[in-house]
Structure 1
Amino acid sequence: MKKQAVAAGFVFLSFMLPLRVSAASFDKFYVFGDSLSDTGNVFAATNGLVAPTTAIPQNPPYFQGRFSNDRVWVDYLGDRLGLKPSPYITLNPTIPNQGINFAVGGASSGQGNAVVPNAPLPGVLEQVALLTQPIIQANQKLDPNALYAVWGGANDYVFGQATNAKQTVQNLSNAVGLLASSGAKNILVFNLPDLGKIPFASATGLSSNLTALTNDHNTRLAEELDKFTKNSDLNLISVDVFSLFNQVQANPGKFGFKDVTNPCVVGNFQTIISVCSQPNDYLFFDSVHPTTGAHKLVADAALAAIEAKSVPEPAINLGILALGAFGAVGMLKRHQKRSAFGSVGRVVDAQLSHTTVEN
Structure 2
Amino acid sequence: MKKELLLASFLTAGILLPSPATAAVFSTIYSFGDSLSDNGNVNQAVLQATGGTQTFPPSPPYDGGRFSNGLMWTELLAQQLGIPLVNFAFGGATTGSANTLDNTLPGIPLPGLEQQINNFVFNTPVADPNALYTIWVGANDYLPTNSIGFTPVATPTIPLTHIQEAVNSLVGIGAEQIMILNLPNLGEVPRTSFSLDGNCPVNNQFDADCLNDVTIAHNNGLVSLFSGLPPEVNIIPVDINSLVSDAIENPAQFGLTNVTDGCFNQITFAVCSNPDEYLFWDSQHPSATGHQLIAQLAFQSLGIPEPSAIAGLVAMGLMAVGTRVKGKR
Query: What range is the shorter-chain TM-score in?
Result: 0.7 to 0.9
Partner of 1:307: 303
Residue 283 in structure 1 maps to residue 284 in structure 2: no
Q: Write the deviation string for residues 125-176 of structure 1: whole angstroms up to 9, x where unpaired.
A: 21011110233xxxx4211111111110001111342111110111111101
Partner of 1:27: 27
Instruction: Name the CA distance, whole Å, in 2 between partners of 1:299 and 1:76.
Output: 6
Partner of 1:70: 70
Of the candidates 158, 161, 165, which is equivalent to residue 167 of structure 1?
A: 158
Partner of 2:313: none
Measured at CA, do residues 60 and 167 of structure 1 come closer, stay the same or move farther in structure 2, by a change above 3 Å? same
Instruction: Name the CA distance, whole Å, in 1 between partners of 2:51 and 2:254.
Output: 35
Partner of 2:218: 217
Measured at CA, do residues 52 and 194 of structure 1 come closer, stay the same or move farther in structure 2, by a change above 3 Å? farther
- SS at 1:274's partner residue? coil
Q: What amino acid is aligned across from residue 215 of structure 1 in structure 2?
A: I
Instruction: Name the CA distance, whole Å, in 1 between partners of 2:263 and 2:123.
Output: 42
Which structure 1 residue ranges, 4+ long, deviate > 6 Å from structure 2?
Answer: 48-53
Partner of 1:18: 15
Partner of 1:261: 260
- SS at 1:237's partner residue? strand
Asked if the contact 2:23–2:304 (Cα under 8 Å) also holds between the matched residues in 1, the reply is no
Q: Write the deviation string for residues 94-141 of structure 1: whole angstroms up to 9, x where unpaired.
A: xxxxxx210000101110201225431111121011110233xxxx42
Which protein is bigger by CA-based radius of gyration?
1
Q: Offset at 1:50?
A: 8.3
Q: TM-score of the superposition, structure 1-length normalised?
A: 0.74
Partner of 2:142: 157
Instruction: Name the CA distance, whole Å, in 2 between partners of 1:275 and 1:192.
Output: 26
Of the candidates 116, 122, 125, which is equivalent to residue 133 of structure 1?
A: 122
Instruction: Name the CA distance, whole Å, in 2 between partners of 1:31 and 1:197.
Output: 25
- SS at 2:135's partner residue? strand
Instruction: Name the CA distance, whole Å, in 1 between partners of 2:211 and 2:285.
Output: 15
Residue 147 in structure 1 maps to residue 132 in structure 2: yes
- SS at 2:246's partner residue? helix
- After superposition, the CA RMSD in angstroms is 2.9
Asked if the contact 1:237–1:305 (Cα under 8 Å) also holds between the matched residues in 2, the reply is yes
- SS at 1:111's partner residue? coil
Q: Offset at 1:223?
A: 1.8
Measured at CA, do residues 53 and 297 of structure 1 come closer, stay the same or move farther in structure 2, by a change above 3 Å? farther
- Between stretches 156-165 and 171-180, larger displacement belongs to 156-165
Q: What amino acid is aligned across from residue 77 of structure 1 in structure 2?
A: L
Instruction: Name the CA distance, whole Å, in 1 between partners of 2:190 and 2:254.
Output: 19
Residue 242 in structure 1 maps to residue 241 in structure 2: yes
Instruction: Name the CA distance, whole Å, in 1 between partners of 2:49 and 2:83.
Output: 23
**Structure 1: gaps spanning 5 or more residues:** 86-99, 310-320, 334-359
Partner of 1:345: none
- SS at 1:199's partner residue? coil
Instruction: Name the CA distance, whole Å, in 1 between partners of 2:299 and 2:216.
Output: 24
Aligned residues: 291
Q: What amino acid is aligned across from residue 285 of structure 1 in structure 2?
A: W
Residue 192 in structure 1 maps to residue 183 in structure 2: yes
Asked if the contact 2:47–2:53 (Cα under 8 Å) also holds between the matched residues in 1, the reply is no
Q: What amino acid is aligned across from residue 271 of structure 2 in structure 1?
A: V
Asked if the contact 1:109–1:168 (Cα under 8 Å) also holds between the matched residues in 2, the reply is yes
Asked if the contact 1:72–1:295 (Cα under 8 Å) also holds between the matched residues in 2, the reply is yes
Output aligned runs, 1:71-90, within 5 Å. 71-85=71-85
Instruction: Name the CA distance, whole Å, in 2 between partners of 1:174 and 1:155.
Output: 18
Partner of 1:112: 98
Asked if the contact 1:76–1:299 (Cα under 8 Å) also holds between the matched residues in 2, the reply is yes
Q: What amino acid is aligned across from residue 148 of structure 1 in structure 2?
A: Y
Partner of 1:312: none
Question: Identity, % of aligned pairs?
Answer: 35
Q: TM-score of the superposition, structure 2-length normalised?
A: 0.80
Q: What amino acid is aligned across from residue 140 of structure 2 in structure 1?
A: N
Asked if the contact 1:69–1:291 (Cα under 8 Å) also holds between the matched residues in 2, the reply is yes
Instruction: Name the CA distance, whole Å, in 1 between partners of 2:49 and 2:299.
Output: 31
Q: Offset at 1:58?
A: 1.0
Asked if the contact 1:32–1:101 (Cα under 8 Å) also holds between the matched residues in 2, the reply is yes
Partner of 1:349: none
Partner of 2:200: none
- SS at 1:143's partner residue? coil
Residue 103 in structure 1 maps to residue 104 in structure 2: no
By relative contact order (CA 8 Å, sep 6+), the higher-ranking structure is 1
Measured at CA, do residues 272 and 77 of structure 1 come closer, stay the same or move farther in structure 2, by a change above 3 Å? farther
- Between stretches 102-111 and 126-135, larger displacement belongs to 126-135
Q: Write the deviation string for residues 183-215 of structure 1: whole angstroms up to 9, x where unpaired.
A: 101111111011110000124672112101101
**Structure 2: gaps spanning 5 or more residues:** 146-150, 197-206, 306-316
